[in-house]
């Protein structure tokens, strides 16, 4: 399935992987709906596109679960339909379990998991009515195995895999596709914006993120995976090996992750 000229909704579109996806998809001739919490940042991204008239903005806070149906209705009204929803928005975490307030875990679940589900569920009937639609959910390699300082983040990302695997099973007959995208380290602000134990941002970057893949390269790989209608795709450097080590050598992975202690 080619994404050329499709109507694509991208969340978390104001920076990082989401922003890179906007520019890459715009080059495909896609009509785009872009969302994040910051309308000002979205305006900047829109006007960086050659044809800004083909880009519409919907400010969106994933923590506001009850607003999702109205956001979906507004998104459909722009171009009359939506072909693909890319669930990219989310926040990360950097704190030890014993030092993390329960409110931080709730926030991670409210945004990364429940917010993503609320938006996707609000759009599901539109996909079913048109016998076509593609949910693309950006989780993480941390949705497949764990790492210290990311307990709540890993939990929310693992949960997304459980939900969207079932979404695929239940609605494949309705023409609904699901692709789960699992990036490793990518050069974004994810570490700087990560929540610490008291809910404040970490502010500082980390070496692994700084040395990660460029967002535009990740965007191209995501588009390729979507066009191939993959169930899951893993994107990154040597950290991708953790997927297979978790499956076949879990104790070895455990020791290697502890040894590296990437924060």
Determine how β-strand 176-183 pairs with β-strand 84-87. Answer: unpaired
Judge whether 52 lies within some domain.
Answer: yes
> CA-based Rg of the chain, rounded to a whole angstrom?
18
The pLDDT mean for the chain works out to 96
- pLDDT at residue 262, as a whole number: 59
**Helix H or strand E encompassing 73:** helix 68-79
Judge whether 1 lies within some domain.
Answer: no
Report pLDDT digits (tens) over 27-83: 999 999 999 999 999 999 999 999 999 999 999 999 999 999 999 999 999 999 999
Judge whether 90 lies within some domain.
Answer: yes
- pLDDT at residue 207, as a whole number: 84
Task: Say whether 153 is catalytic.
Answer: yes
Query: Could you tell me the pTM of the whole model?
Result: 0.95
Please count the CA atoms within 13 angstroms of the CA of 76 that sit on its side-chain side: 17
- pLDDT at residue 209, as a whole number: 87
Answer whether 20's CB lies under 8 Å from 219's CB: yes
What CATH number is given to the structural domain containing 53? 3.40.50.720
Report pLDDT digits (tens) over 118-155: 999 999 999 999 999 999 999 999 999 999 999 999 99
List the catalytic residue out of 105, 153, 234, 244: 153
Which structural domain, as residue segments, surrounds residue 103? Answer: 7-260
What letter would DSSP give residue 115?
I
Report pLDDT digits (tens) over 70-121: 999 999 999 999 999 999 999 999 999 999 999 999 999 999 999 999 999 9
Q: Compute how many other C-beta atoms are within 10 angstroms of the C-beta atom of residue 155.
A: 18
Q: What is the average per-residue pLDDT within 213-222?
A: 97
- pLDDT at residue 206, as a whole number: 83
Report pLDDT digits (tens) over 2-25: 899 999 999 999 999 999 999 999
CA distances from 112 to 12, 75, 80, 194 (A): 11, 21, 28, 12
- pLDDT at residue 261, as a whole number: 66
State the total domains in the chain: 1
Judge whether 2 lies within some domain.
Answer: no
Q: Compute how many other C-beta atoms are within 10 angstroms of the C-beta atom of residue 258.
A: 10
Lowest mean pLDDT among 174-183, 208-217, 227-236: 208-217
- pLDDT at residue 205, as a whole number: 83
């Amino acid at each position: 399935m080619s994404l050329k000229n499709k109507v694509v909704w991208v969340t978390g579109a104001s920076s990082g992987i989401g922003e890179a996806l906007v520019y890459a998809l715009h080059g495909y001739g896609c009509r785009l709906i872009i969302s994040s919490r910051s309308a000002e940042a979205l305006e900047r991204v829109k006007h960086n596109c050659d044809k800004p008239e083909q880009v519409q903005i919907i400010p969106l806070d994933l923590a506001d679960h009850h607003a999702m149906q109205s956001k979906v209705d507004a998104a459909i009204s722009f171009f009359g339909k939506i072909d693909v929803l890319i669930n990219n928005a989310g926040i990360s975490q950097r704190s030890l379990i014993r030092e993390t307030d329960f409110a931080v875990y709730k926030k991670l679940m409210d945004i990364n998991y429940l917010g993503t589900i609320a938006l996707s569920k609000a759009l599901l009937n539109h996909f079913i009515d048109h016998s076509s639609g593609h949910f693309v959910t950006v989780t993480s390699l941390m949705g497949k195995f764990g790492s210290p300082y990311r307990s709540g983040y890993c939990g929310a990302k693992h949960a997304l895999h459980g939900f969207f695997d079932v979404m695929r099973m239940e609605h494949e007959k309705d023409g609904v596709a699901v692709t789960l995208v699992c990036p490793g380290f990518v050069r974004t602000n994810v570490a700087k914006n990560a929540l610490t134990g008291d809910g404040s941002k970490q502010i500082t970057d980390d070496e692994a993120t700084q040395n990660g893949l460029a967002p535009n390269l990740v965007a191209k790989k995501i588009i390729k995976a979507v066009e191939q209608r993959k169930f899951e795709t893993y994107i990154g450097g040597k950290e991708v090996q953790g997927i297979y080590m978790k499956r076949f050598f879990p104790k070895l992975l455990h020791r290697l992750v502890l040894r590296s202690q990437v924060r």
